[in-house]
Amino acid sequence: MKMAASQGGGGAVAAMHGHQYPSGPHWNPGILQHQHHLHTARSLDRALEDAVCSGMLNLSGRKLRDYPGLSYDLTDTTQADLSKNRLTEIPLEVCLFAPLESLNLYHNCIRAIPEAVVNLQMLTYLNISRNLLSTLPKYLFDLPLKVLVVNNNKLFSLPDEIGKCKDLMELDISCNEIQVLPPQVGRLHALRELNIRRNFLHVLPEELAGLPLIRLDFSCNKISEIPPVYRKLRQLQAIVLDNNPLKSPPAQVCLKGKVHIFKYLNIQACRTDKKPDSLDLPSLSKRSFPQPLTDSMEDFYPSKNHGPDSGIGSDNGDKRLSTTEPSDDDTISLHSQVSETARELGRANGHLLLTKLESSKDREAYDLIDPSTEEEAALSEEDIQQSTRYVSCMKELEKVLNKSHQNEDKESGKEESGSEKEPLAEEEEEERGGGGGRGG
């Protein structure tokens, strides 16, 4: 058995050595590269030929440095995919595709967008992400774009002309170096999705609150506050805000989700609308309340001690007057004191009424609940009653002031007549004295 096996094995080996292989060329890697190049060239030609027939040009992932379709008529192309190549600029030939609607230039080495792109007046989708753009030209926003994707570039700002894109529905400017968003983004009235993640933003523009956004992503920025006006984003379904130093709303609120964030923003808006500093309310310390009048003389002469023998109004000690019978001088001063008190009373009443009216207006201005028709009618009746009370009070105040002015005029007339009578009395006494001397 062993001998047979050994002999069998030896015969097999001899047979293998005696077999003659066909002589051929040795393996050469250059041949395979050449074959791959020929295959790539054939597939590229096939792709260009298909694009002529279908209107859809797909040259993605071919490591192209130049545009290869110079010998083909591709002017009827509606969709062009040149992504994942090594293009340093947008080919001018592509800018002549008048009916082009979609252009994908993702992952190239493009540094600038040529002005010839304005010829693409049918272009609604442009993806130029993961390139080397530092600015976006103004004329880019003359196109009827609906989707603009420019993430992973080196943008540090957006031009104000971005507000011209009235039909723009999706804007992705994430992973750039943008520090401020222009307020013109508030003019993008068709915008549904906004992605501004991983930039250098410190503030969110309040103009975004007027947009019909469905998704908002501002994660990985330096934002510390969400403006309370963002509570007006009624259609918002998804908000991504992680990796921000947020203080308002605080982190514990943000972790609970969109509903709690919007509740917090509503509360903040109510607090800012009802700040005491913003209300024009009169302070109690400034109000002057009049003192009630009594029959006592102490109301008018608090510094005097009116005893039973005080001698008020006495003339050289010959005549004593009781406290209930003041002299003429005291009567004049009493009338002036009464008129002044009446004036102060009128001013105080007017001030109190104006204060009530102002406070009622303030309460109406800060009422957050819309009144019904019945409440509006009741409010109108209250306004009429308040206005009538105000008019009647002003009329009474005017009467009191007129009376006080009349009393003052009368008193001044009495003083003038008394001062005129004194020299006349002196002259009469001198005449009498002279007549007596003559008679003597």
Residue pair 101/77 in contact (Cβ under 8 Å)? The answer is no
Given a contact cutoff of 8 angstroms between Cβ atoms, the answer to whether 144 and 158 are in contact is no
pTM over 0.75: no
**pLDDT band, residue 412 (cuts 50/70/90):** low
pLDDT digits (tens, 9 = 90+) for 310-362: 444 444 444 444 444 444 454 444 445 545 555 565 566 555 655 555 555 44
CB 86 within 8 A of CB 109: yes
Q: Where are the domains of the chain?
A: 43-277, 281-302+325-363+381-415
* Digit-coded pLDDT (tens) for 220-269: 999 999 999 999 999 999 999 999 999 999 989 998 888 999 999 999 88
Q: What is the pLDDT of residues 88-143, one digit of tens each?
A: 999 999 999 999 999 999 999 999 999 999 999 999 999 999 999 999 999 999 99
Neighbours of 31 (CB within 10 A): 10
Please write the tens of the pLDDT for every residue from 279-320: 434 344 444 444 444 444 444 444 444 444 444 444 444 444
Topology of the domain covering 43-277: 3.80.10
What is the pLDDT at residue 156? Answer: 94
Tens digits of per-residue pLDDT, 347-403?
665 556 555 555 554 444 444 444 444 444 444 555 566 666 666 777 777 777 777
Token pair listed for 88: 């340093």
Rounded Cα distance, 116 and 142, in Å: 12
* Complete edge-to-edge strand list for the sheet that includes strand 79-81: 56-58, 79-81, 102-104, 125-127, 147-149, 170-172, 193-195, 215-217, 238-240
Q: Which residue has the higher pLDDT, 17 or 216?
A: 216
